[in-house]
Every structure is written in structure tokens, then in C-alpha cells.
């Protein structure tokens, strides 16, 4: 196994070549390579927080003995960021990475498979060749419901995508919903009956249901919904006020004349609450006693 951390390589025709091996490459930079910066044949490993810049090919993969994971890595101004010839069912996973200015293509796949998760790259720039070639782009969707205090409250969620819709329902979420969803699938457009870029799952309908007001056993339920284009990591926040219908009783008296109003003008009720300005419920009151006015 080859372990490299914090390595800087600049110039030359090939920086690193591995065959039937394993690599752990982290925090490094491979730049201005007039060829392939990292060549892997029948090898596996991890590439993490590394930069490939101004190379002819950033990473070239021929076969994968088990798996190759690329995380937090930038491919900038290369001819090809990644160039993949893997053994059909083998999968390269690219997560939280960034492709920019790579021409003719950020990723080239020939009878190869790659899954990109929360990665910045246009699916329309990816080149796929061969009936077994495929790139799948997924993005993380997170959602939460907050009460008037800004605290998480439990909720149910429904996510619908595509036509006919693929429906995901999760109930009893205590704080945060988090899941990866496929948005794009890229295949060879020159093969009959195949779509080059299938974007049918991008439009996403999200609905949450939660207890809006607490009044056991007859709690009041509300819901909120959004329609989004899931083309990047997305976080949704819904406001569920969850104000009790009846607050605690306060030992206070207000003196008023019949048909005239409050004596002494308005009454300051801020001392009744510790979160004035945040409450979004309604204030109501009732008369618990009357004292007749006595005129001499």
C-alpha cells in the first residue's frame, strides 16, 4: 500500500503509477502534468482533499480490484479530470468534490460506472461511452421543522420525485431528516433507446406534517410543502410554531370601567412572558369576576 500525505508534484509526464496495489492519497497537489497525474490499474484506495490542476488527465483508472473513493478533491483546468476504464460493474464513488474548467470533459467513462454524491459538476459535460457506461449523480436532502423557540420538533415527511412519482415516506423523525437522492443518470447517447442525460428525477416535492399546537389529547396538526430542483446538497427548514392552546394562569388583575375601557390606559403584559417578540399564538382572556360600580 502507498500512503502519501501533503505531497506536491509539478511537471513531468506521469506523477504516480500503481498496478495491483492500494493508494491512500491525502492533502496533496498534482499539477501541470503533461500526461496522467495518477494512473491506477487494478488498484483500489482513497483520494482525499487533493488537487489535480492543469494536467492532461487528473486520475486515470483501468479496472478496480475492489473500490476507489474520491472525497473532497478538486479537478481544475485539466483536459480530463477523471478518465475511467473500469470493469463494467466496478464502481468509483466521488463525494463532495469539485470539477471546473476541465475540457473536453470533467469525467470520461468507457464501460465504466461512477457515482457522484454532492459533487459540483454538470451532468451535461460528462462523457459516457459503451453500453455498460453510466454516471449517477446524487444529492443529499435534509429537512427539519422548528418551533417558535427555534428547537426541533418531531415530524413526518413525504418526498415525491418523477412521473409516475417515486414516493418516500418516513414517519416519526425526531430532529433531522437526511437522505441521498438520485437526480441524474448519464449514459451513452449514441446507443439506441438510451437517453444521454436523464433528469426526470430532479424536480422534487417535499411535504412535512407536524403538531402545530399542543393540546393533548386533541393536538392540532399542520403541514408545509415545497417544490425544489435537487441539483445540489439542499437543506429545508419549515416553521412549525407548536404553541400551546392554553398557557398557564397568571395571578394578575386588570381594572376597567364598563363601556369605557381600561383605567389608566394600556396594560403592560410583558412580565407575563419571557419571550416577548417570539410568541406567534393568540392571546385571549376571560372575566372571572365583576365588582359593581357604586355611585354615592
Provide mean pLDDT across the span 99-110: 96
- Which candidate, 141, 119, 134, 31, places its Cα nearest to that of 70? 119
Residue 20 is placed in which grid cell?
A: 495491483
**Strand stretches in 174-268, DSSP E:** 176-186, 197-198, 203-213, 220-229, 234-239, 256-257, 261-262
With bands split at pLDDT 50, 70 and 90, how would you rate the model's confidence at 64? confident
Q: Computed over its alpha carbons, how large is the radius of gyration of the chain?
A: 30
Q: Name the grid cell of 291.
A: 365588582
Distance CA 4, CA 110 (A): 28
DSSP state of 219: P
| pLDDT of 28 above 90 | yes
Please compute the mean of the pLDDT values over residues 131-135 and round it to a whole number.
91
Q: Is pLDDT of 264 > 60?
A: no
> Where residue 77 falls among pLDDT bands split at 50, 70, 90?
very high
pTM over 0.85: no
Mean pLDDT of the chain: 86
Average pLDDT over residues 52-58: 97
- Kindly state the percentage of the chain with pLDDT values over 70: 78
Mean pLDDT of 131-141: 95
- Residue 40 and residue 43: Cα distance in Å, rounded? 6
- pLDDT confidence tier of residue 250, bands split at 50, 70 and 90: low
Instruction: Check pLDDT > 80 for residue 66.
Output: no
- For residues 119 and 215, which has the higher predicted lDDT (pLDDT)? 119
Q: Which of the four pLDDT bands, split at 50, 70 and 90, describes residue 87? A: low
In the prediction, which pLDDT does 215 show? 65
User: Which pLDDT band, with edges at 50, 70 and 90, does 24 fall under?
Assistant: very high
Quick one: pLDDT band at residue 283, thresholds 50, 70, 90? Answer: low
148 neighbors 170 (Cβ within 8 angstroms)? no
Has residue 214 got a pLDDT over 70?
Answer: no
Quick check: 260 pLDDT over 70?
no
**φ/ψ of residue 178, rounded to 5:** -145, 125
Identify the bridge partners of residue 19 per DSSP, sorted by sequence position.
Answer: 41
Average confidence (pLDDT) over 134-157: 93
Amino acid at each position: 500500500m502507498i500512503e502519501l500525505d501533503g505531497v506536491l508534484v509539478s511537471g513531468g509526464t506521469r506523477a504516480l503509477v500503481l498496478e495491483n496495489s492500494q493508494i491512500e492519497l491525502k492533502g496533496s497537489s498534482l499539477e501541470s502534468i503533461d500526461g496522467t497525474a495518477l494512473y491506477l490499474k487494478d488498484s483500489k484506495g482513497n483520494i482525499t482533499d487533493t488537487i489535480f490542476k492543469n494536467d492532461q488527465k487528473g486520475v486515470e483508472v483501468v479496472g478496480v480490484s475492489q473500490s476507489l473513493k474520491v472525497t473532497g478533491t478538486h479537478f481544475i483546468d485539466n483536459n480530463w479530470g477523471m478518465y475511467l476504464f473500469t470493469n463494467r460493474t466496478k464502481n468509483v464513488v466521488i463525494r463532495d468534490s469539485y470539477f471546473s474548467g476541465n475540457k473536453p470533459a470533467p469525467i470520461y467513462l468507457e464501460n465504466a460506472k461512477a457515482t457522484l454524491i454532492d459533487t459540483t459538476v454538470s451532468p451535461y459535460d460528462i462523457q459516457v461511452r459503451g453500453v455498460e457506461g453510466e454516471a449517477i449523480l446524487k444529492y443529499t436532502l435534509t429537512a427539519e421543522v422548528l418551533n417558535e423557540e427555534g428547537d426541533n420538533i418531531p415530524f413526518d415527511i413525504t418526498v415525491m420525485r418523477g412521473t409516475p412519482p417515486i414516493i418516500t415516506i418516513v414517519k416519526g423523525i425526531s430532529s433531522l431528516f437526511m437522505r441521498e437522492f438520485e437526480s441524474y443518470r448519464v449514459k451513452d447517447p449514441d446507443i439506441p433507446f438510451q437517453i444521454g442525460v436523464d433528469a426526470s428525477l430532479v424536480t422534487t416535492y417535499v411535504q412535512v406534517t407536524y403538531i402545530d399546537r399542543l393540546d393533548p389529547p386533541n393536538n392540532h396538526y399542520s403541514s408545509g410543502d415545497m417544490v425544489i430542483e435537487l441539483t445540489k446538497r439542499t437543506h429545508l427548514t419549515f416553521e412549525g410554531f407548536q404553541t400551546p392552546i392554553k398557557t398557564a394562569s397568571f395571578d394578575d388583575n386588570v381594572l376597567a370601567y364598563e363601556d369605557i375601557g381600561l383605567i389608566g390606559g394600556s396594560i403592560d403584559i410583558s412580565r407575563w412572558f419571557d419571550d416577548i417578540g417570539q410568541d406567534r399564538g393568540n392571546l385571549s382572556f376571560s372575566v372571572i369576576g365583576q365588582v359593581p360600580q357604586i355611585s354615592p
